[in-house]
A = this chain, B = another copy of it.
Amino acid sequence: MRAATIRDGKIVFETHPDPVPGAGELLVHVRGAGLNGADMHQLRGLYPAPAGSPQDIPGMEIAGEVVGHGPGATRFAHGDRVMSIVGGGGQAELITVHERLLIPVPDALDWPEAGGFPEVFTTAYDALFTQAGLSGGERLLVHGGAGGVGTAAIQLGRAVGARVTATVRNPDSRDAVAALGATVIPTEGFAEHGPFDVILELVGAPNLDPDMDALATNGRIAVIGIGGGAHGELNLGKLLVKRARIHGSTLRVRPLEEKALTARLIERHVLPFVAAGTVRVPIAETFPLAETAAAYAYFAAGGKVGKVIVLP
């Protein structure tokens, strides 16, 4: 098979041996594979794939058709449309995935949308609900509302009846984010727009202190990105008085059983919104798999709303 491949910090297009599905695994012909911020870290050597995943083929999410079964795999049939987060190796023509990680693709999603769904919706769902316990009527602040996780979080917040505010740095992106249902505010001075019951933090340390100011009593901060810095000052006095909590989370290092449980939560709590059209997957651009390097350059340039997808 052919796959995007990391060679000396660059993306090239190379031929690899076809992967062979092991026990409980399916062989999937990839039809769409999204790019994510973490791909950029991995390309720079800062975020290696977990053990057991291809180290040199990037890609943390896929959608495609089942084309082969490993021993004991029974959950899907040949030709079924499936999607999943994966430890790595997604930006390729073929990939093996444990069947418990796979989610059926609703008819409402075409291949680019399905390929861009798993990572950002799983990340947003896990942070907002499993961790921060967001529920109807609450006030949600999404930092980085124009990003992939941001657009997913805004829609999920709206779908459950939360009141959603989002910071957006690029003025050109504000209308598109507002169209998703968020009240859009600038990054500077966001704390004045609080209080918020839940804050989805994708920037990191620079926001930690103003996040505490913006938080309501019994508020929760879910930290899922630290691109702006990892070391920040936390005022524990504010944490105490507000009876607040701060969560950290990352999906990639979790063991199989935790990832599989998360996949079941997505099937139960998010796919109905997809089927109903309540949430959608905004697509910024698609590229053929052979042009994955160009897709990375496009992604890294920023300024878009929506996912960047490669299509094998």
Q: Chain A interface (Cβ within 8 Å of chain B)?
A: 131, 204-205, 208, 223-224, 226, 229-250, 253-254
Q: A131-B245, A241-B253, A245-B246 known; A233 and B230 CB under 8 Å?
A: no
Could you show 28 A-B contacts with beta carbons less than 8 Å apart?
A131-B245, A204-B236, A205-B236, A208-B236, A223-B239, A224-B240, A226-B240, A229-B236, A230-B236, A230-B237, A231-B233, A232-B234, A233-B233, A233-B234, A234-B234, A236-B248, A239-B246, A239-B247, A240-B249, A241-B248, A241-B253, A243-B248, A243-B249, A243-B250, A243-B253, A243-B254, A245-B246, A245-B247
Chain B residues, Cβ within 8 Å of A249: 240, 243
Please report the C-alpha to C-alpha distance between residue A204 and residue B224 in the assembled complex, in whole angstroms. Answer: 24
B246–A235 touching, CB < 8 Å:
no
Q: Give Cα distance in the complex from A208 to B240, angstroms.
A: 14
Copies in the complex: 2
Q: Specify the main secondary structure of chain A where it touches its partner.
A: mixed
With A234-B234, A246-B246 given, can you name 18 additional A-B contacts, CB distance below 8 Å? Answer: A204-B236, A208-B234, A223-B236, A223-B240, A226-B236, A226-B240, A230-B236, A231-B235, A231-B237, A239-B246, A239-B247, A239-B248, A240-B248, A240-B249, A243-B248, A243-B249, A245-B246, A245-B248
Please give, as numbers and ranges, the residues of chain B lying within 8 Å of A231 by CB-CB distance: 233-237
A273, B84: Cα distance in complex, Å:
47
List B contacts of A204 (CB < 8 A).
236
- With the chains together, A224 CA to B237 CA distance in Å? 10
A205 contact set on B, CB distance < 8 A: 236
CB distance from A132 to the nearest CB of B (A): 10
10 shortest interchain CB distances as A-B pairs: A239-B248, A230-B237, A234-B234, A240-B248, A245-B247, A246-B246, A226-B236, A240-B250, A230-B236, A244-B248
Decide: B233 and A232 in contact? CB cutoff 8 A. yes
| A232, closest chain B residue (CB) | B234
Q: How far is the CB of A185 from chain B (nearest CB, A)?
A: 23
The distance from the CB of A179 to the nearest CB of chain B, in whole angstroms, is 30
In Å, the complex CA distance between A238 and B249 comes to: 10
> Which residue of chain B is the closest to A249 with respect to CB atoms?
B243
Closest B residue to A205 using CB positions: B236
Query: Measured between alpha carbons, how far is A247 from B248 in the docked complex, in Å?
Result: 12
Task: Known A250-B243, A253-B241; judge A230-B235 contact (CB<8 A).
Answer: yes
Q: Provide the bound-state CA to CA distance between A238 and B238, in Å.
A: 21
Cα(A239)–Cα(B223), bound, Å = 8
A117 to chain B, nearest CB (A): 22
What is the bound-complex CA distance between A100 and B131, given in angstroms? Answer: 31
Instruction: Tell me the minimal C-beta distance from A304 to chain B in angstroms.
Output: 25
* Shortest Cβ gap from A210 to chain B (Å): 14
Residues of B near A229 (CB, < 8 A) are 236
CA distance A250 to B204 in the complex (A): 26
A240 and chain B: residue at smallest CB distance: B248
